[in-house]
Amino acid sequence: MLLDYMEIPRYVVMGPKALEHTPSVCSKLGFKGLGYIVSGATFTRKIAEEVANLLEGGGFKTASAIVSGNPRSNGFVEEVKGIYKDARRIYANFIVGVGGGTVLDTAKLISSWLNVPFISIPTSTAHDGIASPAISFLLRYKLFTYTREEVKVSAPIAIIADIDVIKDEPYYMVVAGFGDLIAKYTAVRDWKLAVKERGEEYSEYAASMSLMSANLSSKHISSIRDKTVYGIRVLVKALIGSGVAMSIAGSSRPASGSEHLFSHALDLLSLKYGFEPRSHGVQCGVGSIIAMYLHGGDWMRIRSLLLTVKAPVDSKTLGIDKEYLIEALIEASKIRPERFTILSKVKPDREKAEDILTNVYII
């Protein structure tokens, strides 16, 4: 019998004024000593200062670090390493990430390298990394290039999602989060295909949770589009569910398929050619149109859902030249050759890639 090892958050606190529960969550988890707070340099820094004050009022010591770059920046790996060395030097006992994807990824890495727990305090809904045991592809790629070692991170031990904070995020982050959730429809199809073609392990529970997250966001799309407080709550719940699905599966399979490979290919091509990519979730949403088409599914529904939230669905609205989109589709299956997806079967050449993108109105 197979042994399943699941690493999932012990506490999820979500709602208005959730930040105020940070000290009690840390106490319930048995934390002692120094909490090391990682944040961004602007809006999230103010939230981090509030978290520090709350923790100190609860009897904890704190120190902080600011992440000023991003995985596309030259020297970003050195910046992350520098933050890690500082946290190690002062013997941080637990890590608190306050911010978006880059900040939370940085906090996850430091937590992993120090072997101390990590609390996720998201300030946006742009991605499902708020609850997942994973970091962005581009950061993982940069780290591997830098160290030649694969990086393993853990899921947060707790998530504190303050709706009063998150509801003030820019709308484009809502669009990105929705796109990342829609991607679950094709990710699960790719996973089932890998089971059929390659005999890969499959977790019905993890797949169902991932699809439930996509269905939840689709069902409440009007509230999400209108950025109501209820819509933001739904989006946060769905993103947490997607992250937990990955923890249950022990991999990113339930949340990441050929649509993510398309996005990863665009990220790498942006480094090669110097164009500006779109956010991860936006690119994954467009990739989901392609993947659903290749699976023979209802790709028009995927496109319609994305249009409802005013997400980009073609070269013009993405702001990415069609030549880059064609090359991304050709290169996508080579990004992670061990991950079998519909692209592993199709393996489009230039002519086929152009036809596919034309047929789904992307170019």
Separation between Cα atoms, residue 65 and residue 124, nearest integer Å = 19
Domain containing residue 43: CATH number: 3.40.50.1970
Looking at the structure, tell me whether residues 197 and 112 fall in a common domain: no
* Domain boundary, last residue among 169, 197, 226: 169
Do residue 145 and residue 245 come from a single domain? no
What pLDDT, on the 0 to 100 scale, is given for residue 218? 98
Look at residue 40 and tell me if it is in a domain.
yes
What confidence tens digit (pLDDT) does each residue in 211-223 have? 999 999 999 999 9
Is residue 5 situated within a structural domain?
A: no
In a domain, 281, yes or no: yes
Examine the domain organization and report whether 158 and 23 are in the same domain.
yes
Q: Give CA angle at 182 (223, 300), nearest 5°.
A: 95
The predicted pLDDT at position 1 comes to 47
Instruction: Please check whether residues 114 and 185 belong to one and the same domain.
Output: no
The answer to whether residues 155 and 262 belong to one domain is no
Token pair, residue 211, equals: 């699809």
pLDDT in tens, 319-350: 999 999 999 999 999 999 999 999 999 999 99
Q: Is residue 3 part of a domain?
A: no
pLDDT at 2 (0 to 100): 62
Domains: count for the chain: 2
Give the domain extent around 308: 172-359
Q: Residue 159's closest CA among 125, 118, 127?
A: 118
Amino acid, res. 236: V
Judge if 337 and 219 occupy the same domain.
yes
3 pLDDT above the threshold of 80: no
Rounded CA-CA distance 340/30 in Å is 42
Let me know whether 29 and 156 are in one domain. yes
Tell me phi and psi for residue 64, to 5 degrees. Answer: -140, 160
| CB < 8 Å & 24+ apart, contacts of 296-299 | 297/185, 297/186, 297/189, 299/360
65 and 214 inside one domain: no
Query: Which of 118, 135, 169 is the last residue before a domain boundary?
Result: 169
Is 133 part of a structural domain of the chain?
yes
Which string of b and e fits 252-276 if b means at least 16 CB within 10 Å?
bbbbbbbbbbbbbbbbbbbeeeeee
Residues 158 and 188 grouped into a single domain: no
Residue 2 lies in a domain: no
**Do 39 and 130 lie in a common domain?**
yes
Mean pLDDT of the 77-95 span: 96
Average pLDDT of the segment spanning 278-302: 98
Model confidence at 148, pLDDT cuts 50, 70, 90, reads confident
Structure tokens at 267: 């990220």
Check: CB of residue 265 under 8 Å from CB of residue 332.
yes
Supply the mean pLDDT for the chain. Answer: 95
Using N-to-C axis directions, what is the helix angle for 101-114 and 76-89, rounded to 10°? 50
End position of a domain, from candidates 139, 169, 199: 169
Domain of 344, CATH number, reads: 1.20.1090.10
In a domain, 1, yes or no: no
Mean pLDDT for the stretch of residues 97-120:
96
Shared-domain flag, residues 176 and 163 = no
Residue 34 located in a structural domain: yes
pLDDT at 288 > cutoff 90: yes
Nearest by Cα to 76 from 143, 137, 127, 123:
143
pLDDT value at residue 150: 77
148: left (phi over 0), alpha (psi -120 to 50) or beta: left
Question: For the segment 114-142, what is each residue's pLDDT rounded down to a tens digit?
Answer: 999 999 999 999 988 899 989 999 999 98
Residues 100 and 182 placed together within one structural domain of the fold = no
